[in-house]
Amino acid sequence: MDIRRITDQHKAVCRLVAEKKVKSSLEVLNSMISVSGRGQFRDEYENLAMTYRNILQYTIEGVKDPERDKIYNILLRSIINLADRVKQDILSYYSGWYTYWLKQQLEKEYRLSGKTIVETVDDLLFKQELDEWLKLSSEINPDPNSEIAKKHKQLIRNIFNHLWLTDTYGEAEESLVSIIRKSGKFRWYESCIFVSAITLSLLRFWQPEKVNILLDFYHDGTEQIMERALAGVVLSLHYYNERIFLYPDILARIKKMSKSAKFREHCRILVMQAIRSRETEKLSKRLHDEILPKVASLRPRLDEKLGLDNILPGNPGDEKNPDWSKLFNESDELFKSMEELTNLQMEGADVYMSAFANLKHFDFFKDFQNWFVPFYPDHEAVDVIYTDEVLGPGTNELAEALYKTPFICNSDKYSLLLNLKYLPAAQKTMMLKVFRMELESLEQLNAEEPATDPYKKFRINVTQYLQDLYRFFKLSPYKKDFEDVFSGRLDIYNSEFWRVACPSPEAESVLADHFFRNDYFDDALELFLRQLNTKPDDVQLYEKIGYCYQQAGLYEEALDFYRRAELIDRKVWTIKKIGLCLRRLGRYEESLDYYLQASEMEPENIHTIMMIAHSYLDLKDYEQALKYYFMVEYMDPGNIKVLRPIAWCYLALGKLEDSEKYFEKLSSEKLNAHDYINKGHLALCMGKKKEAVEYYKQGLASGGISRDDFLRIFNEDRPVLLSNGVDPDDIPILLDYLFYILE
């Protein structure tokens, strides 16, 4: 069975219904039902198809039916609902996934016992001894191996599994949720995982009642629980965005809630933190490839500097306007990187994903619900540490520090704790000291920090939970059972939920700036363009839109917005950007003119001087190009990279000895493929054909270019060769000779 094909067909049905292409959606649904083979589905399908044909008939005949729109919307919902159920039925029989194996096991148990989950809860929850335990457990933790503790643990697992695996909630589930919310019989951390179970159930099988249940949990306002509930709502409504227009009651409730500034801010924080998850892989790669190697190679003298990577540090075409944000103060390069990493961590970036990815192999994570359990000091996983000779005496401090730290998500806290017992004694002692210091610093920070951010706790809790979910969808052994909600663009700002919950331009402006700072230019551009009507005189908005277009390689569009910005406020940065776009578009004379204007405004700017040199080179005015390249060489005498264009200009001018002198200076640095080709050109112009062939051979052997690339470059450079007296009849012979010896 091709499961991917079934899921793709299901998505197609939902998309076609959203586009109101009902006939096409019914055709795809018919194909799905043929795979399932259930007669019940076939009967429902025929009824839906007949209803739609009747709607079409009445509409064409001009029959006025005041109920038509209502019937039509019910039809659309019914088509999607049937597609949902058919998909679940096929997956249940053919996927082999853990989710559906467990679902079948639980259904079998219920049939054998003859009781619903609520009746089972009643049996266990209201027994006198369990009631007594629940009253006492805030002060006394029973032996986890005792019978009463085992019963309670099994009860929690049963409730979690039932809420997760039930497709459609009915009276029994409503009663169960009411017990969880109102009875006071469950701890906050137990209610947390129940909310996660409802979210997983909603992501697996749509039902608007589940959304309302999550909104009820949010409305209760219980810390740790409300954050999870709202996260479930936001992620689910984004996931089901195509169909949400069919459920105006949900949108109406969210719109009513959006009148509260607190709700709007909670939504904004949550959406921002969800979108941050897109940075996780990039951040992990940077940590692994850049930050940690720097730390490992750090020398005692922090003032030791690195050499230049390019002609000048940074790419002048890619620089952002310094007016847009504060720059780092002068400090060591490594310190800057670490400072940036710390700031990202403070903002809620997931800096620990790569560090903890390999610490999810413990048996603890084989228990499905443990991926969602919040960390708390009384968890039985902490009990293991009490028996450790080194860590035992400090277990309470260790657990308390882990519980309070805002920078590590719940899942990683358990990973860290479980890994501690396998460390050597010396490392255990060191870790204990670290946690004691962490606890002291957290307590001091809380005491000194003014209560200026009323949303601090919400932000911390929701960030940790989203990171828990991210690890589940990326690292869990059960991840194949779920469609990853963190994949793709995660453009929640385009969802109906966002439109209704956060209608203010300010919310979109904050998101746009976040995207822009983190180089998500496609997202930033989409949001910046929405702001044009409300900010017609905002010069930075035009600059940023131009920059986004530039990064996408759309230079005509970028040029348009840079020129709009220039009309409002003429800045040297904007003028240089106009010059860059013109150069990319091959309009070299215009480009040069703008760079010369920029030079008049900043005569000593080395980047501008370099771009003027490049512009003259583009125009094949080699004498003028040399003049400006010499200025760069004079201003930055240790810069080897500028020698390349100087050597080339001399070659193009026929000053072969001067060109040779500059090419020789490059030998102190590793030559690249283009250097070898240029040296080959020089040798050929000097009549040294064998030497030229050897250089061409080295260029191809360097691996930097292919044979086709070499031929393209050679043909582009042919005019320079001919101007230096190379016989055009010798060129094809020389190339054939080169390719023969390469074989």
Q: How confident is the model at residue 122 (pLDDT cuts 50, 70, 90)?
A: low
pLDDT tens for 656-684 read: 999 999 988 887 567 888 889 999 999 99
716: number of Cβ within 10 Å? 9
* pLDDT value at residue 436: 78
Residue 334's pLDDT band (cuts 50, 70, 90): very low
For the segment 314-338, the average pLDDT, to the nearest whole number, is 53
Among the listed residues 315, 227, 306, 317, the one whose alpha carbon sits nearest the alpha carbon of residue 269: 227
Contact 215, 257 (CB under 8 A): yes
What whole-number percentage of the chain has pLDDT above 70?
86
pLDDT at 301: 32
Predicted pLDDT of residue 299: 35
HSE (CB half, 13 Å, CA atoms) of 726? Answer: 29
Q: What percent of the chain is modeled with pLDDT above 90?
A: 60
Q: Is the pLDDT of residue 640 over 80?
A: yes
Higher pLDDT: 609 or 668? It is 609
Instruction: For residue 51, name the pLDDT band (cuts at 50, 70, 90).
Output: very high
pLDDT band at 442 (very low <50, low <70, confident <90, very high): confident
pLDDT in tens, 155-179: 899 899 999 999 999 988 998 999 8
pLDDT of residue 341: 58
The mean pLDDT value of the chain amounts to 86
Single-letter amino acid code for the residue at 670: K
Indicate whether 323 pLDDT > 90. no
Q: What is the pLDDT of residue 123?
A: 61
Segment 571-580 mean pLDDT = 96
Query: pTM of the entire structure?
Result: 0.80
At 384, the pLDDT band (50, 70, 90 cuts) reads confident
The model's confidence at residue 449, banded by pLDDT at 50, 70 and 90, is low
Type of residue numbered 271: V
pLDDT band for position 199 (cuts 50, 70, 90): very high
CB 477 within 8 A of CB 366: yes
Cβ–Cβ < 8 Å for 79, 22? yes
pLDDT at position 308: 25
Tell me the CA end-to-end span of the chain in Å, nearest whole number. 49
Architecture of the domain defined by 640-743: Alpha Horseshoe (1.25)
pLDDT over 50 (residue 239)? yes
pLDDT at 429: 84
232 within 8 A of 239, measured Cβ to Cβ: no
- Residues 431-456: what's their mean pLDDT? 74
User: Residue 448's pLDDT band (boundaries 50, 70, 90)?
Assistant: low
Query: What's the CATH number for 570-636?
Result: 1.25.40.10
Where do the CATH 1.25.40.10 domains begin and end in the chain? 570-636
Say how far apart CA 13 and CA 7 lie, in whole Å: 10
Best-predicted range by mean pLDDT among 314-323, 376-385, 463-472?
463-472
Is 134 or 216 the better-scoring residue by pLDDT?
216
Mean pLDDT, range 521-549, rounded to an integer: 94
Give the DSSP H or E segment for 571.
none
Q: Which of 399, 387, 398 is nearest to 434 (CA)?
A: 398
Query: Which has the minimum average pLDDT: 65-79, 119-133, 525-539, 565-579?
Result: 119-133
The pLDDT, as a whole number, for residue 234 is: 97
Contacts of 572 (CB under 8 A, 6+ apart): 598, 601, 602, 605, 608
Cα separation, 485 vs 235, in Å, equals 7
More confident residue, 486 or 131: 486
- Checking if the pLDDT of 133 tops 80, the result is no
Phi, psi values for residue 400, rounded to 5°: -65, -40
Rg (CA), the chain: 33
Q: What pLDDT score was predicted for residue 300?
A: 34
